[in-house]
């Protein structure tokens, strides 16, 4: 009997929808070294090291997650995200996926933004109440950054100052202490993390807790601009213009 994952991978490659899925997984590039400011590449590299050989199911992934360094190898590698881009769905998606896979051999991980996290944070209580093992990593850029890029695109289109894109979008001064919020809801947590050594230790601790059957959250302060530059296409979408 044919392997369904391999069949789908070959079919998608033939259709040309997403050529990367048909590439040999052995050609995955090596992670770059730490560059001095934490970003999602660092999170992915340290997470992969900490996980070891255990299979991971990503229940949610933040924008700019470096899939080229960690490609999806089977149908449970990445479970997808909300269809409409709604902010606040991440925590619930992660907890729900972890509940379904609770008795499997997979480690369920959700990488979500701070804005997404804050709008659905009550899901953490559910994880604590029902001892649902899930590792939540908050890629905390202290902003609704996607909307910053939209506002920049609109400002450029209208001839206004794009330097004001942050107005109404930054979540800083003070930045919410998400690890304390999670702890208050019964979920053990680490953070805010702002160094590579702290990240290594937090992920190792978090994976140990999750493997023990409980949820854990890691709040990582990342470089907000890494991999999230305004492109011509995103500027076009910001004011509803399509080519």
The CATH code of the domain that includes 200 is 3.40.50.970
Structure tokens at 9: 């991978």
Q: What is the pLDDT along the chain (243 residues), one digit of tens a residue?
A: 667 767 777 777 777 665 454 455 557 778 878 777 888 899 999 999 999 999 999 998 987 788 888 888 888 988 887 766 667 688 999 999 999 999 999 999 999 988 888 888 999 999 999 999 999 999 888 766 566 666 677 777 788 777 766 555 666 678 779 899 999 999 999 989 999 999 999 999 999 999 999 999 999 998 776 655 544 445 555 555 544
- Alpha-carbon gap, residue 109 to 179, rounded angstroms: 16
Q: Do 14 and 57 share a domain, yes or no?
A: no
| Domain residue limits at 9 | 1-30
SS3 state at 241:
coil
Q: Do 20 and 63 share a domain, yes or no?
A: no
- Alpha-carbon gap, residue 140 to 223, rounded angstroms: 8
In a domain, 243, yes or no: no
Q: Do 167 and 56 share a domain, yes or no?
A: yes
| CB of 57 closer than 8 Å to CB of 210 | no
For residues 201, 203, 204, 209, the Cα torsion angle rounded to the nearest 10 degrees is 120
Among left, alpha and beta (phi > 0; psi -120 to 50; other), residue 129 is alpha
Q: Do 52 and 21 share a domain, yes or no?
A: no
Q: What is the pTM of this model?
A: 0.78
């Amino acid at each position: 009997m044919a392997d369904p994952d391999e069949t789908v991978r070959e079919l998608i490659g033939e259709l040309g929808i997403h050529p990367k899925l048909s590439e040999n997984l052995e050609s995955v590039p090596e992670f770059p070294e730490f560059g001095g400011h934490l970003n999602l590449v660092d999170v992915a590299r340290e997470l992969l090291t900490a996980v070891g050989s255990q299979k991971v199911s990503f229940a949610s992934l933040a924008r700019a997650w470096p899939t080229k360094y960690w490609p999806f190898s089977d149908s449970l590698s990445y479970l997808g995200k909300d269809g409409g881009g709604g902010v606040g769905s991440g925590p619930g998606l992660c907890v729900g996926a972890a509940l379904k896979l609770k008795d499997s051999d997979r480690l369920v991980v959700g990488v979500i933004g701070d804005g997404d996290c804050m709008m659905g944070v009550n899901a953490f209580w559910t994880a604590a109440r029902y001892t649902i093992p899930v590792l939540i990593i908050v890629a905390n850029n202290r902003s609704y950054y996607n909307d910053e890029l939209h506002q920049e695109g609109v400002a450029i289109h209208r001839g206004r100052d794009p330097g004001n894109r942050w107005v109404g979008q930054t979540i800083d001064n003070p930045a919410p202490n998400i690890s304390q919020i999670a702890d208050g809801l019964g979920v053990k947590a680490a953070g805010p993390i702002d160094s590579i050594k702290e990240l290594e230790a937090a992920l190792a601790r978090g994976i140990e807790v999750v493997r023990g059957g409980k949820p854990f959250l890691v709040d990582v302060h990342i470089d907000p601009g890494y991999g999230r530059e305004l492109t011509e296409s995103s500027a076009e979408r910001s004011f509803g213009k399509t080519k």
